[in-house]
Structure 1
Amino acid sequence: MVRGVRGATTVEKNEKSEILEATYELFDTMQKQNSYNPEDISHVIISMTQDLNAAFPAVAMRQLKDYDLVPVMCTQEVPVPGSLEKCIRVMVTINTSKGQGEINHVYLNEAIRLRPDLSLTNKVDSR
């Protein structure tokens, strides 16, 4: 079965190091919370809001072990007025036997506001 694992995080500044650190933390947490390996990944889509352009977030993913062959595409998020700023969103498409309710979507920092109903913190508290 193919499933999507969503994740998002925010940064405070449009700086290369901050973007890469936040993206690395997000990818690492998503992998740990869902127990997948790079071989399980079909592809990854990463988007950033228009106010972020200091780095390609895919660079952070490449720092993870065995991610060098994972297909990844970076894009710009739709600039909806009033939407969350300085946000990095990720969709990892994996092959898994898990059901949709078993997937742990990861929202860090201010991105928790995007989907508090799916945030890992709420899932853990509700079990």
Structure 2
Amino acid sequence: MIRGIRGATTVNKNDEEEILQATVELLKDITQKNAVQPEEISHIIITMTQDLNATFPAGATRMIEGFERVPVMCAQEIPVPNSLQKCIRVMCNVNTEKKQGEIQHIYLKEAVQLRPDLTLTNKSESR
């Protein structure tokens, strides 16, 4: 079964290093909290809001051991008025036997407001 694991985080500014580090943090949290190995990842889709363009967040995957061969696609998020800014969103598609209710979606920093219904169950584990 292929399941999607969602996640999002925010950065303070449009800075290459900050974008890469935030993306690494998010991907590591997703894989650790869901006990996913890179070999089990079918592909990853990463989007960023229009105010972020200092780098391709896919470059962060090359900073994580084992992710070198994971296919990654970057895109720009739909610019909905009054939506959360400086946001990086991830859809990690993994091969797993877990049921949907067992998947832990990860929302960090200001992105917790995107899905408070999902972050309540993870609140004790978040920073």
Query: TM (normalized to structure 1)?
Result: 0.95
Per-residue CA distance 1:37-94 (angstroms, 9 max, x = gap): 1110111000000000001111111111111110100000000000000000000000
Alignment correspondent of 1:123: 121
Aligned pairs for 1:18-33 (under 5 A) are 18-33=18-33
Listed as ranges, the gaps of 5+ residues in structure 2 are none
Displacement after TM superposition at 1:98 (Å): 0.2
Q: How many residues align?
A: 124
Alignment of 1:8-27 (within 5 A): 8-27=8-27
In structure 2, distance between residues paired with 1:124 and 1:69 = 29
Unaligned runs of 5+ in 1: none
Q: What residue is the counterpart of 1:47 in the other structure?
A: 47
Partner of 1:99: 99
Q: Which residue of 2 aligns with 1:86?
A: 86
How far off its partner does 1:125 sit? 5.9
Amino acid at match of 1:107: Y
User: For the residues of structure 1 that align with 2:114 and 2:15, how far apart are their CA atoms?
Assistant: 22
1:71 paired with 2:71, answer yes
Change (3 A) 1:99 1:53: same
Q: If the length of structure 2 is used for normalisation, what is the TM-score?
A: 0.95
Runs of 4+ with >4 A deviation: none
Counterpart amino acid of 2:113? R
